[in-house]
A and B are shown apart, each in its own frame.
Chain A
Amino acid sequence: MKALLTATVATAALLAGQAGAKVLTVTPGGDAQEKIQTALLDAKPGDTVMIAAGRYELTDGLSLDVAGVTVKGAGPAATILSFDGQKSSGEGFLITSNRVTVRDLGVENCKGDGIKSKGVDQITFKNLRVEWTAGPKSTNGAYGVYPVASTNVLIDQVVVKGASDAGIYVGQSKNIVVKNSEAQFNVAGIEIENSMNADVHDNLATHNAGGILVFDLPNLPQMGGHSTRVFHNRVIQNDTQNFAKKGAIVGDVPTGTGVMVMANRDIHVFDNEIDQNQTAAVMIVSYTQAYDDLTYNPLPRDIAVHDNRIGKNGWAPQFPGGDVIAKAMGGTIPPVVWDGVTNFTPKGMSGPVAVRVHFTDGPVANLHFSAPGNVFSAKPQVTPTIDDGAIAEPKAVVLPKAQAAL
């Protein structure tokens, strides 16, 4: 009861705070670019830009730079922002202001990324469809929804199809929830990169090349990704041939990967259904490329994989030498594959940083690489589990109340 009262008061306060808020309605017809962009410029904090049902043909990127604005459509199949004729901008819709919600609309065929937020706080993507309608193609845009360098990120009920990099991508951000969403026919379904504190749960990743990725890369303003929980997702039949252009790091993700963790620390993968991924259910690997960044740690450490429902995976691994390794392991790749690199000493430290793992969804293959990516040094060993003991799970991500209530 007390919780209910608090919630009611919070809602009332929220409404009071938006006294005088306007709804700016945009309807189809005429110059869609000018009409929508003008509404996005005219909106004041608290306002809603309502884009009525219909198809809107855009010629350039749209952008929003006013805090506290909601951009709302009549549903992901009803309000369609089409970027088929886009002539410039790196994305369809760019958001550079705080406390923005984009919801209930569809975005199609952006020439670059779909919807991007850069450097903002409290960004919410809700009930959206971002799609490249001609199916997976390397010429499609890179990311579907793309919050970067942002804090308090909520992605809820978002469907992304056809992205040539990651469908749902969160980069260099903090405090992140990705839930109830669906990624299909992308190179990577969902990717959390160089980010801190993320909960990725109750999503479906299917028919991508890789289902869910948690990566940390060097030479970026924010590095040292940590504390991500991937749980209660369905990571099923990721079987689209990797169609990324070379150069993109996801181009290295083998087709048929369920969950992949690269570098990072404190990543927990549990209670997921992982099935029908031909390369492997879960891969835990180091960053293998050369880099020039003394502060970067390329090893995954303090990683837990437990209590997942793991079906048939790993019957035809798509990484170099995978067939040989599979043969050595009796024909299939075990549910959890770890490159086994543990000996990284960061500059200025006297010995290696401790690497602890808790892999209880066995069997587990430890490839015992001597160094990141050193395939030739592999001494694969399969054991029922590899367990350095329980590893404390990161705390649940808590978003600001108003945002969590959306």
Chain B
Amino acid sequence: MRTLLAALAAVLCLGAAPAPLICGPVNQAALMSATPAPTLSTYRLFTDEDAVHPNARVTPYALNTPLFSDYAEKSRFLYLPPGTHATYRPTGALDLPVGATLVKTFAYPFDLRRPGEKVRLIETRLLIHRRSGWVALTYVWNDDRTEARLKRAGARLQVSFIDVHGQSRQVDYHVPNQNQCKECHALSGRIAPIGVKARNLNGDFAYPDGRENQLVHWTRTGLLIGAPTPDKAPRTAVWDDPREPLAARARAYLDGNCGHCHNPRGEASNTGLFLNLEEARPVKFGVGKRPVAAGKGSGELETDLVPGRPDASIIAYRMASTEPGVMMPELGRSVVHDEGLVLVRDYIAKMQAR
């Protein structure tokens, strides 16, 4: 019966490429329903069952500096309902209409040096803009890559891959529970998107018909209104592009990896440590600031950030830890991001002592 249905679906979608199993537009009703769909395919965000080819009105995008997620490869998409568009904002996330959905798939290629090959899909997270506000859901993939099922209470998955140095790595991958999505995505206690800021989208993306700045592409295709030309819009540095200034890269990294909680409206607001890119007061981004509720996370150190001395800076200490209660961020990683740590240590080392 199921085979028959699939065959029927294939016939109905004839002509669309590559022969999809899922057809019809994005299932807006399912996205808007208060009861989440049990499987990802219900939403028809993709035209293939392993979520590679986006459906109409689902646009891939990338961030200049993303969150580190245990070396997982992440692909991101924005769905906008027909007749709607995003509105530019110079700071914070773009203004997205009700119905907009952000889609992020976490995956590991067998070998990080060969992206796109022998990929294991882990989970696909959705952030859906309902009338009542944003809702976070996550779907965990089966081993056959044929189906992702709703997982509300979180999960642990054992993942192995070969890293960029050719070393075999094991990761105790954590799928967050639904509340934990909000821990990072909270702004004044309500769920909000993090990545889709104009400044973090202000960079090129390799579209099927060529590279183009994302703000330009989105404007040209009617997805975005109100954006200035890229040179007039703010821009987050690319954390791993050595051509960019060290401080800009490090602050971009801290923004993307810490600033979602460590900002005046985030989950870690009570710490008084603000690592979002907009924060300009040195003491607020850690210079000379003593910890408050760090407990053992202080690691016998007395200051969050000591210019010139990464070994004396709690920020670097906590980035280098994998011990719960010490490691930062608290969620989203189980291994150290070696390259990120090198960047932040280098930044602190080269900061001028006041």
Chain A residues proximal to chain B, CB less than 8 Å: 33-34, 37-38, 40-41, 59-61, 63-65, 86-90, 94, 96, 110-113, 118-119, 138-143, 146, 148-149, 164-165, 169, 171-172, 193, 217, 219-222, 244-249, 289-290, 292-293
Interface residue B267 (Cβ < 8 Å from any Cβ of A): yes
Q: In angstroms, how far is the closest chain A Cβ from the Cβ of B266? A: 10
Complex contact A290–B288 (CB within 8 A): yes
Chain B residues with CB below 8 A from A165, complex form: 293, 295
What does DSSP make chain A's interface, helix, strand, loop or mixed? loop
Interface residue B334 (Cβ < 8 Å from any Cβ of A): yes
Contact code string B312-354 (vs A, CB < 8 Å = 1, else 0)? 0010000000011100001100100000000000000000000
Known A-B contacts A139-B296, A148-B293, A293-B283; A221 and B302 likewise in contact (beta carbons under 8 Å): no
- Residues of B in contact with A, size category: 35 or more
Q: In angstroms, how far is the closest chain A Cβ from the Cβ of B60? A: 29
Known A-B contacts A38-B153, A60-B156, A63-B177; A118 and B295 likewise in contact (beta carbons under 8 Å): no
Interface residue B270 (Cβ < 8 Å from any Cβ of A): yes
Q: In angstroms, how far is the closest chain A Cβ from the Cβ of B281? A: 8
Q: In angstroms, how far is the closest chain B Cβ from the Cβ of A89? A: 6
- The A-contacting residues of B in range 134-191, CB under 8 angstroms, are 152-156, 172, 174, 177-180, 182-183, 186, 189
Closest to A137 in B: B296
Complex contact B153–A247 (CB within 8 A): no
A146 to B325 Cα, complex, angstroms: 14
A165 to B294 Cα, complex, angstroms: 9
Q: In angstroms, how far is the closest chain B Cβ from the Cβ of A309? A: 33
Interface residue B264 (Cβ < 8 Å from any Cβ of A): yes
Known A-B contacts A88-B174, A141-B296; A246 and B302 likewise in contact (beta carbons under 8 Å): yes
A164 to B291 Cα, complex, angstroms: 14
Complex contact A289–B290 (CB within 8 A): yes
Known A-B contacts A88-B331, A112-B324; A60 and B293 likewise in contact (beta carbons under 8 Å): no
Complex contact A148–B291 (CB within 8 A): no
Complex contact A249–B290 (CB within 8 A): yes
Q: In angstroms, how far is the closest chain A Cβ from the Cβ of B296? A: 5
| Residue from B174, B189, B295, B296 whose CB has the most chain A CB atoms within 10 Å | B295
A89 to B328 Cα, complex, angstroms: 10
Selected contact of B152 from candidates A38, A96, A111, A141, CB within 8 Å: A38
Complex contact A87–B153 (CB within 8 A): no
Q: In angstroms, how far is the closest chain B Cβ from the Cβ of A306? A: 31
Knowing that A96-B179, A248-B294 are A-B contacts, what are 13 other residue pairs whose CB atoms are under 8 Å apart, sorted by A's residue number? A41-B179, A63-B179, A87-B324, A89-B324, A96-B186, A112-B324, A113-B325, A140-B296, A245-B295, A246-B300, A247-B300, A247-B301, A247-B314
Cβ contacts A to B, 21 pairs, < 8 Å: A40-B179, A41-B153, A60-B174, A64-B179, A65-B179, A65-B182, A86-B324, A96-B179, A96-B183, A96-B189, A113-B295, A118-B267, A142-B293, A169-B293, A171-B293, A220-B292, A221-B269, A221-B272, A246-B302, A248-B291, A248-B298
Q: In angstroms, how far is the closest chain B Cβ from the Cβ of A35? A: 8
Selected contact of A41 from candidates B152, B172, B293, CB within 8 Å: B152
Chain B residues with CB below 8 A from A111, complex form: 323-325
| Residue from A64, A146, A220, A290 whose CB has the most chain B CB atoms within 10 Å | A220
Complex contact A119–B189 (CB within 8 A): yes
Chain A residues with CB below 8 A from B288, complex form: 290, 292
Complex contact B295–A292 (CB within 8 A): no
A292 to B289 Cα, complex, angstroms: 8
Known A-B contacts A38-B153, A41-B152, A248-B298; A89 and B291 likewise in contact (beta carbons under 8 Å): no
Chain A residues with CB below 8 A from B323, complex form: 111
Complex contact B283–A141 (CB within 8 A): no
A3 to B325 Cα, complex, angstroms: 47
Closest to A83 in B: B324
A165 to B293 Cα, complex, angstroms: 8
Q: In angstroms, how far is the closest chain B Cβ from the Cβ of A47? A: 16
Interface residue B299 (Cβ < 8 Å from any Cβ of A): yes
A172 to B302 Cα, complex, angstroms: 21
Known A-B contacts A41-B177, A63-B180, A220-B272; A247 and B293 likewise in contact (beta carbons under 8 Å): no
Chain B residues with CB below 8 A from A87, complex form: 156, 172, 174, 324, 334
Closest to A248 in B: B298
Closest to B289 in A: A219
Closest to B295 in A: A142
In the complex, the number of residue pairs spanning A and B with C-beta atoms less than 8 Å apart equals: 149
A91 to B323 Cα, complex, angstroms: 12
A222 to B292 Cα, complex, angstroms: 12
Chain B residues with CB below 8 A from A249, complex form: 290, 292
Q: In angstroms, how far is the closest chain B Cβ from the Cβ of A158? A: 18
A184 to B186 Cα, complex, angstroms: 35
Complex contact A246–B182 (CB within 8 A): no
A90 to B189 Cα, complex, angstroms: 18
| Residue from B270, B291, B293, B300 whose CB has the most chain A CB atoms within 10 Å | B293
Complex contact A247–B177 (CB within 8 A): no
Closest to B304 in A: A247
Complex contact B189–A247 (CB within 8 A): no
Q: In angstroms, how far is the closest chain A Cβ from the Cβ of B132? A: 14
A59 to B180 Cα, complex, angstroms: 14
Closest to A36 in B: B153
A200 to B180 Cα, complex, angstroms: 32
Complex contact A96–B182 (CB within 8 A): yes
| Residue from B269, B289, B301 whose CB has the most chain A CB atoms within 10 Å | B269
Q: In angstroms, how far is the closest chain A Cβ from the Cβ of B193? A: 18
Selected contact of B183 from candidates A94, A146, A217, A245, CB within 8 Å: A94
A61 to B154 Cα, complex, angstroms: 10
A320 to B192 Cα, complex, angstroms: 49
Closest to A39 in B: B153
A64 to B179 Cα, complex, angstroms: 7
A143 to B296 Cα, complex, angstroms: 10
| Residue from B153, B267, B291 whose CB has the most chain A CB atoms within 10 Å | B153
- The A-contacting residues of B in range 202-232, CB under 8 angstroms, are none
Complex contact A41–B178 (CB within 8 A): yes
| Residue from B155, B296, B330 whose CB has the most chain A CB atoms within 10 Å | B296
Complex contact B294–A247 (CB within 8 A): yes
Selected contact of A221 from candidates B264, B282, B283, B303, CB within 8 Å: B264
A279 to B189 Cα, complex, angstroms: 43
Q: In angstroms, how far is the closest chain A Cβ from the Cβ of B283? A: 4
Selected contact of A246 from candidates B189, B271, B301, B324, CB within 8 Å: B301
Q: In angstroms, how far is the closest chain A Cβ from the Cβ of B190? A: 11
Complex contact B298–A247 (CB within 8 A): yes
Complex contact B153–A89 (CB within 8 A): no
Q: In angstroms, how far is the closest chain A Cβ from the Cβ of B327? A: 8
A149 to B268 Cα, complex, angstroms: 10
